[in-house]
Structure 1
Amino acid sequence: MNAPARHESYVLDDGEKAVEVIEDTKIPNAATIKIVKQDHTLGNMLRAQLLAMPQVLFAGYKVPHPLHPYFIIKIQTDGTVTPQKILEQACTKLIGTMSSLETKFKREFSYKDVEGTAGGVTAATGEDPYGTTGGAWGRGGDYLDII
Protein backbone atom coordinates (compact mmCIF):
# COMPACT_ATOMS: atom_id res chain seq x y z
CA MET A 1 0.00 0.00 0.00
CA ASN A 2 2.67 2.52 1.04
CA ALA A 3 5.50 0.76 -0.76
CA PRO A 4 6.86 2.46 -3.88
CA ALA A 5 6.48 0.90 -7.32
CA ARG A 6 8.96 -1.94 -7.89
CA HIS A 7 10.92 -0.24 -10.65
CA GLU A 8 11.58 2.73 -8.35
CA SER A 9 13.65 0.43 -6.14
CA TYR A 10 16.37 -0.22 -8.72
CA VAL A 11 16.11 2.26 -11.64
CA LEU A 12 18.00 5.52 -11.16
CA ASP A 13 16.01 8.68 -11.80
CA ASP A 14 17.29 11.36 -14.17
CA GLY A 15 20.19 13.18 -12.54
CA GLU A 16 20.31 10.80 -9.57
CA LYS A 17 23.81 9.69 -8.58
CA ALA A 18 24.38 6.03 -7.72
CA VAL A 19 27.11 6.80 -5.16
CA GLU A 20 27.56 9.78 -2.83
CA VAL A 21 30.75 10.17 -0.78
CA ILE A 22 30.72 12.15 2.47
CA GLU A 23 34.13 12.73 4.05
CA ASP A 24 34.17 12.12 7.79
CA THR A 25 35.68 15.14 9.57
CA LYS A 26 35.82 13.54 13.03
CA ILE A 27 37.61 10.29 12.16
CA PRO A 28 40.87 10.31 10.18
CA ASN A 29 40.98 8.41 6.88
CA ALA A 30 37.27 7.65 6.99
CA ALA A 31 34.28 8.28 4.78
CA THR A 32 30.58 7.56 4.73
CA ILE A 33 29.33 6.42 1.35
CA LYS A 34 25.67 6.30 0.34
CA ILE A 35 24.92 3.75 -2.37
CA VAL A 36 21.51 4.32 -3.95
CA LYS A 37 19.10 1.71 -5.35
CA GLN A 38 20.86 -1.22 -3.65
CA ASP A 39 20.17 -3.32 -0.57
CA HIS A 40 21.68 -5.84 1.88
CA THR A 41 22.87 -8.10 -0.93
CA LEU A 42 25.53 -5.70 -2.16
CA GLY A 43 26.09 -4.08 1.23
CA ASN A 44 27.03 -7.31 2.96
CA MET A 45 29.29 -8.47 0.12
CA LEU A 46 31.11 -5.12 0.06
CA ARG A 47 31.53 -5.08 3.83
CA ALA A 48 32.95 -8.62 3.85
CA GLN A 49 35.34 -7.84 0.99
CA LEU A 50 36.51 -4.62 2.65
CA LEU A 51 37.17 -6.37 5.97
CA ALA A 52 39.33 -8.94 4.15
CA MET A 53 41.64 -6.18 2.90
CA PRO A 54 44.59 -5.36 5.19
CA GLN A 55 44.39 -1.57 4.67
CA VAL A 56 40.85 -1.39 6.13
CA LEU A 57 40.51 -0.72 9.85
CA PHE A 58 36.70 -0.56 9.89
CA ALA A 59 33.90 -1.32 7.46
CA GLY A 60 30.23 -1.49 8.25
CA TYR A 61 26.95 -0.82 6.53
CA LYS A 62 23.34 -0.18 7.41
CA VAL A 63 20.03 0.14 5.62
CA PRO A 64 18.30 3.03 7.41
CA HIS A 65 14.76 1.96 6.47
CA PRO A 66 13.41 -0.95 4.40
CA LEU A 67 11.25 1.34 2.23
CA HIS A 68 14.21 3.54 1.26
CA PRO A 69 16.26 1.79 -1.45
CA TYR A 70 19.78 2.67 -0.36
CA PHE A 71 22.41 1.72 2.16
CA ILE A 72 25.18 3.59 3.90
CA ILE A 73 28.65 2.10 4.21
CA LYS A 74 31.31 3.54 6.51
CA ILE A 75 34.95 2.82 5.77
CA GLN A 76 38.10 3.70 7.72
CA THR A 77 41.53 2.90 6.32
CA ASP A 78 45.04 2.94 7.78
CA GLY A 79 45.95 6.01 5.71
CA THR A 80 47.91 4.28 2.95
CA VAL A 81 44.90 4.51 0.65
CA THR A 82 41.72 6.59 0.61
CA PRO A 83 38.33 5.05 1.46
CA GLN A 84 37.11 5.78 -2.08
CA LYS A 85 40.06 3.99 -3.65
CA ILE A 86 39.75 0.97 -1.36
CA LEU A 87 36.03 0.77 -2.19
CA GLU A 88 36.91 0.71 -5.91
CA GLN A 89 39.44 -2.06 -5.27
CA ALA A 90 36.86 -4.04 -3.26
CA CYS A 91 34.33 -3.69 -6.09
CA THR A 92 36.91 -4.86 -8.63
CA LYS A 93 37.74 -7.91 -6.49
CA LEU A 94 34.03 -8.69 -6.04
CA ILE A 95 33.46 -8.53 -9.79
CA GLY A 96 36.36 -10.94 -10.27
CA THR A 97 34.98 -13.28 -7.60
CA MET A 98 31.51 -13.27 -9.15
CA SER A 99 32.99 -13.91 -12.59
CA SER A 100 35.00 -16.84 -11.21
CA LEU A 101 31.91 -18.22 -9.48
CA GLU A 102 29.92 -17.96 -12.71
CA THR A 103 32.66 -19.79 -14.63
CA LYS A 104 32.83 -22.58 -12.04
CA PHE A 105 29.04 -22.87 -11.98
CA LYS A 106 28.83 -23.17 -15.78
CA ARG A 107 31.73 -25.64 -15.82
CA GLU A 108 30.03 -27.92 -13.29
CA PHE A 109 26.86 -28.03 -15.33
CA SER A 110 28.79 -28.63 -18.54
CA TYR A 111 30.35 -31.70 -16.85
CA LYS A 112 26.85 -33.03 -16.37
CA ASP A 113 26.37 -33.02 -20.16
CA VAL A 114 29.83 -34.49 -20.84
CA GLU A 115 29.48 -37.33 -18.33
CA GLY A 116 26.30 -38.52 -20.02
CA THR A 117 23.89 -37.87 -17.21
CA ALA A 118 20.18 -38.00 -17.59
CA GLY A 119 17.91 -36.37 -15.06
CA GLY A 120 20.65 -36.14 -12.45
CA VAL A 121 21.47 -39.88 -12.52
CA THR A 122 24.80 -40.96 -14.00
CA ALA A 123 24.04 -43.22 -16.95
CA ALA A 124 27.08 -45.48 -16.47
CA THR A 125 26.61 -46.30 -12.78
CA GLY A 126 22.94 -45.56 -12.12
CA GLU A 127 23.98 -43.52 -9.08
CA ASP A 128 22.54 -40.15 -8.19
CA PRO A 129 25.23 -37.92 -6.66
CA TYR A 130 22.60 -35.60 -5.18
CA GLY A 131 20.28 -38.25 -3.76
CA THR A 132 17.18 -36.95 -5.53
CA THR A 133 15.94 -40.25 -6.94
CA GLY A 134 14.46 -43.16 -5.03
CA GLY A 135 15.52 -43.24 -1.39
CA ALA A 136 13.33 -41.42 1.07
CA TRP A 137 11.24 -39.82 -1.65
CA GLY A 138 10.26 -43.18 -3.06
CA ARG A 139 9.04 -41.95 -6.43
CA GLY A 140 12.29 -40.93 -8.09
CA GLY A 141 11.09 -37.35 -8.62
CA ASP A 142 12.42 -34.04 -7.54
CA TYR A 143 11.88 -32.98 -3.93
CA LEU A 144 9.42 -30.34 -5.15
CA ASP A 145 7.23 -33.12 -6.51
CA ILE A 146 6.04 -33.96 -3.01
CA ILE A 147 4.21 -30.68 -2.63
Structure 2
Amino acid sequence: MNAPDRYERFVVPEGTKKQLHRDPNVLFAGYKLPHPLQYKIIVRIQTTSQSSPTQAYSQAIDDLDKELDSLKKGFEDEKTRFEEKLRQGY
Protein backbone atom coordinates (compact mmCIF):
# COMPACT_ATOMS: atom_id res chain seq x y z
CA MET A 1 0.00 0.00 0.00
CA ASN A 2 1.29 3.42 -0.88
CA ALA A 3 1.19 6.29 1.57
CA PRO A 4 -1.48 8.92 0.93
CA ASP A 5 -0.40 12.05 -0.92
CA ARG A 6 -0.58 14.11 2.27
CA TYR A 7 2.49 12.26 3.58
CA GLU A 8 4.47 12.70 0.37
CA ARG A 9 4.90 16.43 1.03
CA PHE A 10 7.33 15.69 3.88
CA VAL A 11 9.85 13.72 1.80
CA VAL A 12 11.61 16.59 0.04
CA PRO A 13 11.83 19.07 2.92
CA GLU A 14 12.92 16.39 5.40
CA GLY A 15 15.62 15.09 3.05
CA THR A 16 16.82 18.61 2.37
CA LYS A 17 16.91 19.41 6.10
CA LYS A 18 18.96 16.30 6.83
CA GLN A 19 21.37 17.17 4.03
CA LEU A 20 21.72 20.72 5.38
CA HIS A 21 22.58 19.31 8.82
CA ARG A 22 25.58 17.53 7.24
CA ASP A 23 27.06 20.90 6.23
CA PRO A 24 29.47 22.19 8.91
CA ASN A 25 28.58 25.79 7.99
CA VAL A 26 24.90 25.28 8.81
CA LEU A 27 24.02 26.13 12.40
CA PHE A 28 20.27 25.53 12.09
CA ALA A 29 17.99 24.12 9.41
CA GLY A 30 14.29 23.52 9.76
CA TYR A 31 10.98 23.76 7.98
CA LYS A 32 7.32 23.96 8.78
CA LEU A 33 4.08 23.51 6.94
CA PRO A 34 1.78 26.36 8.01
CA HIS A 35 -1.43 24.47 7.24
CA PRO A 36 -2.12 20.98 5.86
CA LEU A 37 -4.37 22.33 3.12
CA GLN A 38 -1.78 24.81 1.85
CA TYR A 39 1.00 23.62 -0.43
CA LYS A 40 3.51 25.94 1.18
CA ILE A 41 6.72 25.14 3.05
CA ILE A 42 8.62 27.66 5.16
CA VAL A 43 12.34 26.91 5.36
CA ARG A 44 14.71 28.49 7.89
CA ILE A 45 18.47 28.16 7.52
CA GLN A 46 21.08 29.80 9.73
CA THR A 47 24.71 29.57 8.67
CA THR A 48 28.13 30.68 9.82
CA SER A 49 29.79 33.67 8.18
CA GLN A 50 31.56 31.25 5.82
CA SER A 51 28.37 30.57 3.85
CA SER A 52 25.00 32.09 3.08
CA PRO A 53 21.68 30.27 3.52
CA THR A 54 21.16 30.40 -0.24
CA GLN A 55 24.56 28.79 -0.89
CA ALA A 56 23.93 26.12 1.74
CA TYR A 57 20.49 25.32 0.30
CA SER A 58 21.83 25.10 -3.26
CA GLN A 59 24.68 22.85 -2.13
CA ALA A 60 22.27 20.60 -0.22
CA ILE A 61 20.06 20.22 -3.30
CA ASP A 62 23.11 19.45 -5.49
CA ASP A 63 24.36 16.87 -2.97
CA LEU A 64 20.94 15.21 -2.79
CA ASP A 65 20.80 15.09 -6.57
CA LYS A 66 24.20 13.34 -6.67
CA GLU A 67 23.12 10.87 -3.97
CA LEU A 68 19.95 10.04 -5.88
CA ASP A 69 21.92 9.56 -9.11
CA SER A 70 24.26 7.20 -7.27
CA LEU A 71 21.33 5.29 -5.80
CA LYS A 72 19.68 5.02 -9.21
CA LYS A 73 22.90 3.78 -10.81
CA GLY A 74 23.41 1.19 -8.06
CA PHE A 75 19.84 -0.03 -8.46
CA GLU A 76 20.15 -0.28 -12.24
CA ASP A 77 23.48 -2.15 -11.93
CA GLU A 78 21.97 -4.68 -9.53
CA LYS A 79 18.92 -5.06 -11.75
CA THR A 80 21.18 -5.78 -14.72
CA ARG A 81 23.17 -8.34 -12.71
CA PHE A 82 19.97 -10.03 -11.55
CA GLU A 83 18.57 -10.18 -15.09
CA GLU A 84 21.87 -11.63 -16.32
CA LYS A 85 21.70 -14.37 -13.67
CA LEU A 86 18.13 -15.16 -14.73
CA ARG A 87 19.26 -15.52 -18.34
CA GLN A 88 22.01 -17.92 -17.22
CA GLY A 89 19.46 -20.05 -15.38
CA TYR A 90 20.25 -19.32 -11.74
Of 59, 62, 75, the match for 1:105: 75
* Residues 125-147 of structure 1: per-residue CA shift (max 9 Å, x gap): xxxxxxxxxxxxxxxxxxxxxxx
Q: 2:64 & 2:57 partners in 1: Cα distance?
A: 10
Hey, which of these two has a bigger chunk of helix by percent?
A: 2
* Higher RCO structure, 1 or 2 (CA under 8 Å, sep 6+): 2
CA RMSD between the two structures:
1.8
Corresponding residue for 1:44? 14
Runs of 4+ in 1 over 4 A off after TM superposition: none
Is 1:93 aligned to 2:63, yes or no? yes
Higher strand share: 1
Equivalent-residue separation in structure 2 for 1:41 and 1:64 (angstroms): 16
Letter in 2 for 1:97: E
Corresponding position: 1:54 with 2:39: no
TM-score, with structure 2 as normaliser: 0.84
User: For residue 106 of structure 1, what is the amino acid of its counterpart?
Assistant: E
State whether residues 40 and 63 of structure 1, in contact with CA within 8 Å, keep that contact through their aligned partners in structure 2: no
Contact 1:57 1:78 (8 Å CA) reproduced: yes
- Listed as ranges, the gaps of 5+ residues in structure 2 are 1-7
Name the SS of the counterpart of 1:116 in structure 2. Answer: helix
Which structure 1 residue ranges, 5 or more long, are not aligned? Answer: 1-37, 125-147
Identity of aligned residues (%): 31
Alignment-derived partner of residue 47 in structure 2: 77
Is residue 47–residue 61 contact of structure 1 (8 Å, CA) maintained in 2? yes
- Normalising by structure 1, report the TM-score: 0.53
Displacement of 1:43 in angstroms is 0.4
Residues 36-85 of structure 1: per-residue CA shift (max 9 Å, x gap): xx931110010000001110000011111111112111100011011001
